[in-house]
Structure 1
Amino acid sequence: MSSKIAIFYIGATGYIGGTALQAILAHPKADTFEITALVRSEAKAKAIESALGIKTIIGSLQDHAFLTENVEKADVVFQQADADDVEATKAIISGLKRRFEKTGKKPILIHTSGTGLLIDNARGEYASSSITSDLDVASIEKIPSTAFHHEVDLLVNSADIEGYATTYIVVPGIIYGRPKGPLFDGAKPIAHTHTIIVPMFVEVITRRGRPGIVGKGANIWPYVHIDDNADVYVRVLDAALYDPARISHGREGYFFIESSEHSAYEAIKLIGEALVGLGVITDAEPDVFTAEERTKYFGSEAIVSVFFANARCTADRIRKELGWAPKHTEDFVQRIKEDVEVALKQLKAQ
């Protein structure tokens, strides 16, 4: 029987999951980890095995029996592929329960949510004065189950509350920055090289010919660089495995991730300035989307409300408990401009 720590990794080819996986493989005790990554195709499986030297299995979140079966084999499960898949989450926690019943040892689940669970209905009109600390358990418990991602968060928590798993929920803000490493380098990266926010606004601004906002664009979101975000997963894993008394879990185990915050107006104008510099548009100053434009470019008012909501928070728990100190706190402007260049190249290639 293997004495290694069995890790089942969901989301290895994602922007978040891929960077975190590379960081985990740089852990000083990585040679004691036996990582198996879930991927959707044989081509991806071969590419990851070649690039990282880990095991893979081919499947999907939609194959619930398969998911449960593989979770049951793991000491640690990472879920970084989908923050809103209720049925997949049920399959995962079913596997965790089976693991506990089989071994008597609580498996670990590190789940990725998002600060969208905190959004209000500002629609760009104001910067909220409400800033939620992840140490404020009472405020987090008041978040309705209907909030973005939160139905799944509560399912994850239930496994900890019922005593058959130890759970941690990582809650990043908007992530930016170009990841590097074997999953991301080269002409044909194995993993996704960007999050959705910057490419989406690059496409909208390019099609429209000018940046646009809703209301005043005064709403504020938290941001974090992709490498600082990956560092969180390493710290959570390390503490969960080797010093669990240091780290909160279950209902207290929410870890907001932010290193700066910016208004929608500020971020969208930065994207506009980068596109002016690249000769795509001539005016970087945002004006207000018309109702017709909101439908044209975003598809629905519900999506508009998300991007122009406030989601302010402070990452106090990870700083306090695990000493997290983000390194990318002064280079937001430069990194966003780099993201715009990458997104524009991909848009032109479509």
Structure 2
Amino acid sequence: MSHNILITGGSGYLGGSLLAGLKGANLPPYSTLYALVRTDDQAKAVRQYAAEPLQINLSSPESITSTIINKQITIVFHLYDAIDIDNPSTFIKALSQVKQATGQEVHFLYTTGAKLFSEFAGAPTDKPLLDTDAELYAIQKKQVDTAPIPFMSQGVQANNLVIEEAEKNGVRAYIFAPCIVYGKGTGFGNKISIQTVGIVRIAKAVRKVYDLNEGKPTWPVCHIDDNTSLYVEILRAALQDRDIGHGKQGYYLASSGSVAWADIYEAMGKTLKERGAVDVEGVHVGPSVEEMGKMGEALGSPPELVRWATGGACTLTAENGAKIGWKAKYPKEHVLEFADAEVDWILTNLGK
């Protein structure tokens, strides 16, 4: 029996780029590619990627379960909510029923975020945290109680639940952690990053670029094309029935290395000044209370979460992808070399 694939979050930056990237991926044969949609416009859009639109009531476990079973979906790529502690277990249990009925291996990929492996979620940052670390699941279990931000604890819990439910139900699970992803999205919906657009939004709000970090923390980076290609390689392995790292050995970071936030601020700040989006050159420290308020407003968040959105320390390091044949096309320094184009693309999409 050929695999049936479901991709959720196809209107997003990562999911849309994945749908677009599948056309030229030269994957092994499969039966049907489904894309979860909410509107008629989205349904029309996903068809251009040879995907069948599928509507599921995500607030109804019965709707999820019946759709997975009736369509005999064997591979689900979940790309729409990094702190979802409800739906993944329903998808996993439904996949398990498909496995029982067909005898075929089933797969669930859950898209989390590098923030859940960072200081903001209570992860260690004093040394590289390898995505192949045999203790990564145990580390994440401890983080549930030590995460300094409550919703980060929920996100870590979601990662753990995916692994636990998949193990219990005989489903191969993969925890995919995007980092600072940059570059032009190639999908039909959102075409700009989350992290880099945050830097632009807060800089425009106060007319200067601020560094809110202490010291010079780093964060892993990845071009959108490389992020997409790791999704594709995991999917390729599933279609080939290769037994790659999954469950407690199934954490995957797409990244070519880590870069200091200060260097990203400097590179983007230079272009922001040239484009007239900020009034002063350089990277500044010590914003006023009023400025912090403006930055929070620009992000739609409290001031205390501005650094969470655009800074911090994360030492998660990519090794698992290389084990399945993935290799980044763009070196980590490219995020700095690409700063001009990234800022211009963001300003265009924000309407300047």
Structure 2 Cα separation of the partners of residues 90 and 198 of structure 1: 32
Which secondary structure does the structure 2 equivalent of 1:111 belong to? strand
Q: Is the 8 A contact 1:217 1:265 kept in 2?
A: no
Normalised by the length of structure 2, the TM-score is 0.86
The equivalent residue for 2:335 is: 332
Question: Quick one: distance in 2 between partners of 1:242 and 1:119?
Answer: 33
Which one is further off, 80-89 or 214-223? Answer: 214-223
> Within 5 A, what are the aligned runs for 1:1-350?
3-29=1-27, 31-49=29-47, 51-59=48-56, 61-72=58-69, 73-120=72-119, 128-143=125-140, 144-145=143-144, 147=147, 148=152, 149-180=155-186, 183=187, 190-216=188-214, 218-245=216-243, 247-288=244-285, 289-298=287-296, 299-300=301-302, 301-305=304-308, 307-319=310-322, 321-329=323-331, 330-348=333-351
Q: TM (normalized to structure 1)?
A: 0.87
Q: Partners of 1:207 and 1:302 in 2: how far apart?
A: 15
Structure 1 residue 90, shift from structure 2 partner: 2.7
Identity of aligned residues (%): 24
Measure the CA separation in 1 of the matches of 2:240 and 2:144: 32
Q: Which residue of 2 aligns with 1:187?
A: none
3-state DSSP class of the match of 2:59? coil
Output the CA distance in 1 between the equivalents of 2:82 and 2:125.
Answer: 25
What's the secondary structure of 2:220's corresponding residue?
strand
8 A Cα contact 2:56 2:67, kept in partner? no
Deviations 1:226-258 (CA, angstroms, capped at 9, x unpaired): 00011101111112231523x111111111221
Distance 2:75 2:248 in 1: 19
Change in 2 beyond 3 A, CA 1:54/1:262: same
Decide whether the 8 Å contact of 2:199 with 2:310 is kept in 1.
no
> C-alpha displacement at 1:345, in angstroms?
2.0
Amino acid of the residue matched to residue 276 of structure 2? G
Name the CA shift for 1:159/1:140 in 2 (closer, same or farther; >3 Å).
closer
Structure 2: give runs of 5+ residues left out of the alignment. none
**Change in 2 beyond 3 A, CA 1:332/1:302:** closer
> What amino acid is the match of 2:129?
T
Q: Which runs of 5+ in 1 are unaligned?
A: 184-189
Q: Please, which moves more after superposition, 103-112 or 221-230?
A: 103-112
Does the 8 Å CA contact 1:39/1:60 hold for their aligned counterparts? no
1:177, distance to aligned residue in structure 2 (A):
0.7
How many residues were matched structurally?
332
How has the CA–CA distance of structure 1 residues 284 and 69 changed in structure 2, closer, same or farther, with 3 Å as cutoff? farther
Partner amino acid, structure 1, of 2:68: V
Cα shift readout 1:162-211 (whole Å, capped 9, x = no counterpart): 1421111111211001133xx3xxxxxx2210121122221211121100
Structure 1 counterpart SS, 2:144: coil
